[in-house]
Amino acid sequence: MSYPLLTITIFLPLLGAVLMQLIPREKATAARWAALSITILDLLLGISLVTGFKVGEQGMQFVQKFAWIKTAGISYYVGLDGLSMPLYALTLLLSIVAILASWSIKERVREHYSLLLLLEVGMLGTFAALDFVVFYIFWELVLIPMYFIIGVWGGENRNYAALKFFIYTFAGSVLMLVGILALYLTSGLGTFDMVQIMQSGYHGALATFIFVMFFLGFAVKVPIFPFHTWLPDAHVQAPTAGSVLLAGVLLKMGTYAFIRIIAQILPGEFQRFAPFIAVLAIISIIYGALTALAQKDLKKMVAYSSVSHMGYIMLGIVALTPVALNGAILQMVNHGLITGLLFLIVGYIYERTHTRDISKLGGLQVKIPILGGMFVFAALASLGLPGLSGFVGEILILFGSYAPYKIYTILAIVTLALTSFYLIRANQNAIFGAGKTEHEGYKDANGRELISALPLIILIAIIGVYPKPFLHYIDPAVNTVLQMIRGS
């Protein structure tokens, strides 16, 4: 690496957030365009990371490492592999979508965009960090902007939701921190370097203790049943940009950490507890689908559907087979695209109807055919329609999970009927039907809204039609993980 491209892409939004403060408070349009330009520039730089990535090679790429606090063994250490690269790219893209989605925000525009940029730094850093301290800082950095985004620009019940989100996930991160400290203090290496720590084995009660700390911390984030109840509140109350990033990126931090940290540092414990996590995963799958079916609120339905979909990803992770793990990682990206799109469209619909009550919607396809059509598309993608990306991840997970978990896999397949049921029902009741007079005069999607959705739609279709190149990115990282697990 001749120049630190990865570091630049991580911190460019931070620079942006600082520079934003130079824009006078009342110049909302300038703030919007500034934030948009920064995220687009960041994506363009990110694309050169994607194209420069040596596909098929194991190990970290674009690595940068220098000592930060030498005495404590803390270093600034970042890099990307086949596991983090897809999520990194997803974050860059969804940040732009989030900026476009909040265009209609009228109050404290500059602050809103500064927070979105800070959030982007946190998300990018989390996926790139290879030092525990750096990782923890970025992980926590995500929390604070999101807390304010929900609490300040959220819906009618925003204070409760923001506080619940913060305390619940912060409690999770504290447990994670305990785990990190325990690793640091007992490894005898005197370093927070993740890659080095991965090489040292942990056994016995200590390993179990650390596992439990990490498990609780990440399970909240994913979220896995029964740690999920912060999610519906936060998703529903968050403004559209917040929901898109919550569902699209923040949940993936949990599943990412499961693979990066638990599976690679505590492979023995992970294998030991995998059957137990699988039970929670299958409960999440079925339970999330049932609760989604019972929803009367469209946004809440999408929120609960995430619990179910993340359950599939967890099932793929704990199956510990190459096919399932590839599927799980691909599905993390797919879920980000698809559920991000669903939240985006639901947000745009809400801006017009000012209701999310499914029974009060209906007939939208007549009044706003483009938005209606995009919702139907996203719903079909979400229920795993072949030809769209969700299907690919799903079948890989199911093919790969059958050998270790036969009954769960069959249950997971059967639950797909429930998934279809709630999504098709949403199409039916919210989008189809005769046009209603109270929806008269709505304007269909404008250029900005269209542009924000199109990249997601196109990617969902491309991955769905031809997943091979995407799997080539992921597969080497999966091999690394599974080698470690087999070696334990």
Q: How far is the CB of 124 from other proteins (least distance, A)?
A: 22
Q: How far is CA 165 from CA 93, 229, 250, 278, 372, in A?
A: 24, 9, 12, 25, 30
- The residue within the footprint of other proteins, chosen from 294, 451, 454, 458 (CB under 8 A), is 294
Question: Closer to other proteins at the Cβ: 99 or 418?
Answer: 418
* Cα separation values, 42 from 37, 96, 97, 124, 290, Å: 8, 9, 13, 11, 40
The verdict on 399 binding other proteins (CB under 8 A) reads yes
**In the Cβ-directed half-sphere of 382, how many Cα atoms lie within 13 Å?**
36
167 contributes a contact to other proteins by CB under 8 A? yes
CB 252 within 8 A of CB 332: yes
CA distance 345 to 21: 30
The full 3-state SS of 262-290, as one line of letters, equals: HHHHCHHHHHHHHHHHHHHHHHHHHHHHH
The verdict on 22 binding other proteins (CB under 8 A) reads no
Q: Which helix (H) or strand (E) element contains residue 74?
A: strand 74-80
Q: Is 105 in the site for other proteins (CB under 8 A)?
A: no
Query: 188 Cβ partners below 8 Å, 6+ apart?
Result: 200
User: Measuring CA to CA, which residue among 101, 100, 138 is closest to residue 7?
Assistant: 138
Contact range with other proteins by CB under 8 A, out of 39-47, 256-264, 270-278, 471-479: 471-479
Within positions 129 to 148, which residues make up the interface with other proteins, using CB under 8 A? 147
Does 206 bind other proteins (CB under 8 A)? Our answer is no
Residue placing its CB nearer to other proteins in the complex, 277 or 426: 426
- Kindly state whether residue 410 participates in binding other proteins, applying the rule CB under 8 A: yes
Q: Which of 30, 181, 279, 485 binds other proteins (CB under 8 A)?
A: 181
Residue 169 binding other proteins, by CB under 8 A: no
DSSP state of 383: T
DSSP state of 27: -
Q: Which stretch binds other proteins (CB under 8 A): 120-128, 205-213, 348-356, 425-433?
A: 425-433
Does position 403 bind other proteins by CB under 8 A? yes
Of 240 and 331, nearer to other proteins (C-beta) is 331
Give residues in contact with other proteins (CB under 8 A).
71, 147, 163-164, 166-168, 170, 174, 177, 181, 185, 190, 225-226, 228-230, 287, 290-291, 293-295, 322-323, 326, 363, 365-366, 380, 385-387, 391-392, 395-396, 398-399, 402-403, 409-410, 413-414, 416-418, 420-421, 424-425, 427-428, 432-435, 466-468, 471, 475, 478
